[in-house]
Amino acid sequence: MAVETVEFGPQDARLGGTLYLPDTAPSAAVVIHGATGAKHRYYGAFSQWLAQEHGLAVLTYDYRDFGASATGSMRASRATMADWGVNDPNAAQAYLRGRFPATPLWVIGHSLGGFMLPLHTNLDQIDRFIAVASGPGRWTDHPWPYRAAAMLLWFGHGPLSALIAGYLPGRYLGLGADLPEGVYWQWRRWCLSHDFYEGDIGTTLPRRTAPGLSAPTTVIAVADDDLIPPEVVGRLATFYPDAPITMRTLAPAEFGLGKIGHFGAFRRRNAVLWPAIIADHAAK
């Protein structure tokens, strides 16, 4: 396996990432659209496994002004969730298609990376789609006691800290990563709205593209995910009405694990889950 550090992006941003290449010609090229606040290196072990064990070329990357794509202070960022969910993924898919123009294209979306795809361009170029722990969740969908933490994020120290700092100081608040102010406020609006991001379509978000996604799709829930519970993941099927969809739930006990959670599926210590994530696609 070879590993390349890459840069690409739309005209108004520079995106940094990593490309994992198998020793032979790849059977498919995979782009991983990550979760909010998850740096692309989090998907590194999973990407290595896809390259080494399944002969796939895999691109991971960070959204603009975050992680490997940071170019200045978080306070100076003008990035929005629309950039992270639509503009940057479109650039990543275009870059990978340019590198492998004749190779089948797979998309794996984690959380944010799974529910924004209907607004992307060139959906007819995608051959496989896998969404993990993704869905249009509102703050009232979280079970207790996690809902209390969500209430603080949206109604308590979250907005207060963002107003004072000019960005969301996620590391200080125990959320794992700092986020640009525009990302936080748009994300907050979606999670407090009954129609999730529908209210932004036609303004800050593009309208759904045609044709829609028609590629074989697997939607995967995690049984002990308090952030995006399985019933929320179930709503994701309505986002892809033209795609043949397989639904699956990963339960920790079935894999001999104590817990998985929202961010556990791609961790190296939970590698026992990885064959199940690509089970519907690996043999095709």
Domains detected in the chain = 2-136+210-277 (3.40.50.1820)
In angstroms, the Cα distances linking 182 to 76, 112, 188, 191, 267 are: 10, 15, 10, 14, 28
pLDDT in tens, 173-186: 988 899 999 999 99
pTM attached to this predicted model: 0.97
Cα→Cα distances 42→36, 132, 152, 198, Å: 12, 14, 26, 30
Q: What does each C-alpha distance from 247 to 37, 52, 130, 199, 215 come to in angstroms? A: 25, 27, 10, 27, 14
pLDDT digits (tens, 9 = 90+) for 104-121: 999 999 999 999 999 999
Decide if pLDDT at 47 tops 70. yes
Q: Which of 66-70, 173-177, 199-203, 229-233 has the lowest mean pLDDT?
A: 173-177
Contact 278, 53 (CB under 8 A): no
pLDDT confidence of 42, banded at 50, 70, 90?
very high
| pLDDT the model gives residue 284 | 43
Average pLDDT score, the chain: 96
Q: Over the stretch 123-158, which tens digit does the pLDDT of each residue have?
A: 999 999 999 999 999 999 999 999 999 999 999 999
pLDDT band of 209, cuts 50, 70, 90 = confident
Taking the C-alpha atoms of residue 169 and residue 157, their distance in angstroms, rounded to an integer, is 10
